[in-house]
Amino acid sequence: MRGLRSAAAKVGLAALTAMVSVSARAEDLMGQPTPGGISLQPAASALKYQAIWFHNMLLWIITAISLFVLALLLICVFRFNSKANPVPAKWSHNTKIEIAWTLGPVVILLVIAVFSFQFLFAYHNMPKPDLTVKATGYQWYWGYTYPDQKIDEYTSNVLTADAAKAAGEPYLLAADNPLVVPVNKNVRVLVTGADVIHDFALPAFGLKTDAVPGRTNETFFKADRIGTFYGQCDQLCGVNHAFMPIEIKVVSQADFDAWVASKAPKTAPAASGAPASGAPAAVSAAAAAAPTATAPAAAPKAAPATTASR
């Protein structure tokens, strides 16, 4: 039994060490995949923090169950084999054990269900948005529209390998025209598709919403830090599926206002001497020189007919 306990302790220590090393490795890079990483990306929004907590809770539960089952198997192998136990027992039922292995899984599933439903409700409990963005998936790029800021749709395409290297950004994750949002603001994203089903996914914010043609889905996020975050289309949408990344730049409110101003449509400069209304000077001069039209004089009324006197 001492050897059995020692083996179980070593297995438990190895599992704990692996979990700690996975958590530490996931902190290497923010907003993009970590080479060699096997855990979730670090969080940059409230929903992703909750997703990581739920994931880690499930990992601990699964590890505990696996170690418990392993311990039972080892006990059966070493304690109840034919050599150690040549005369088998005659009983075949144990009421207490049967109740325990029935209620135990039920309690575990109930605990998981409570936190799972809370997480699900959080994803559908959208706060009042500070900003609305429409993301449209195309084969094979994204189009972004800012209806509140009157910014028409602009396209976001993947950077070439040389352009990404020159910009110091990861290839196949960087885009030429990223989505720009302010920090610490509730951003509502309206997601739709123009041709086939795409998927708007960005791991650091916990985003993953299908872009379905003819339908508008919505999701939201609130970035808690300034930086650049990368995602991709997560729905197999065609031969160039791997070449439609999602890049979101989170900036300060002042920088976002400046970016919105740079996207405003350019108006032609008014001609010198033009009236305040913006009408061309020649038209205004012609209008001033034209005589004022007057209403035609009313025709004289006909005199009423008189009756001849008798």
pLDDT for position 82: 82
| Best CA proximity match to 174, nearest among 255, 241, 229 | 229
C-beta of residue 140 within 8 angstroms of C-beta of residue 244: yes
Segment 7-35 mean pLDDT: 59
Among 9-18, 113-122, 205-214, 286-295, which is the least confidently predicted range?
A: 286-295
Phi, psi torsion values for 207, nearest 5 degrees: -90, 135
Position 222 pLDDT exceeds 90: yes
Sign, CA dihedral 279-283-287-289, equals: positive
pLDDT for position 300: 42
What's the pLDDT tens digit per position in 107-125?
999 999 999 999 999 988 9
CA 86 to chain centre: 62
pLDDT for position 26: 42
pLDDT for position 76: 87
Among 57-66, 148-157, 250-259, 270-279, which is the least confidently predicted range?
A: 270-279
**β strands within the chain, DSSP E:** 131-138, 141-146, 151-156, 179-182, 187-193, 198-202, 207-211, 217-221, 227-233, 245-251
C-beta of residue 209 within 8 angstroms of C-beta of residue 189: yes
**Class of domain 2-83+98-124 as given by CATH:** mainly alpha
Unique residue bearing structure tokens 């080479």: 35
C-beta of residue 172 within 8 angstroms of C-beta of residue 243: yes
Confidence label for 27 from pLDDT (cuts 50, 70 and 90): low
Helices (H), 27-128: 46-79, 95-124
State pTM to two decimals: 0.72
Position 48 pLDDT exceeds 90: yes
The CA distance from 140 to 232, in Å, is: 11
C-beta of residue 255 within 8 angstroms of C-beta of residue 185: no
The yes-or-no answer to whether 2-83+98-124 and 131-262 have a common fold is no
| Residues 6+ positions from 230 with CB-CB distance below 8 Å | 31, 32, 170, 173, 174, 202, 245, 246, 247, 248
pLDDT for position 115: 94
Segment 184-208 mean pLDDT: 96
Among 12-16, 62-66, 72-76, 224-228, which is the least confidently predicted range?
A: 12-16
C-beta of residue 224 within 8 angstroms of C-beta of residue 44: yes
Cα dist. 251→31, 263, 265 in Å? 14, 16, 22
Token pair of 146 as six digits: 């800012």
Q: How do the domains of the chain map onto residue ranges? A: 2-83+98-124, 131-262
Confidence label for 268 from pLDDT (cuts 50, 70 and 90): low
Return the half-sphere exposure (C-beta side, CA atoms, 13 A cut-off) of residue 166.
7
**DSSP bridge partners of 192:** 136
CA dihedral 170, 172, 176, 177 (to 10 degrees): -100
What's the pLDDT tens digit per position in 278-297?
434 333 333 344 444 444 44
Q: Higher-confidence residue: 84 or 111? A: 111
pLDDT for position 303: 42
Q: Higher-confidence residue: 293 or 173? A: 173
CA dihedral 172, 223, 146, 161 (to 10 degrees): -10
C-beta of residue 179 within 8 angstroms of C-beta of residue 246: yes
In one letter, which amino acid is 39? S
Segment 2-19 mean pLDDT: 49
CATH annotation of 131-262: 2.60.40.420
Token pair of 51 as six digits: 């997703």
Q: Higher-confidence residue: 267 or 294? A: 267
221 burial level (CB within 10 Å; 0-12, 13-18, 19+) = buried
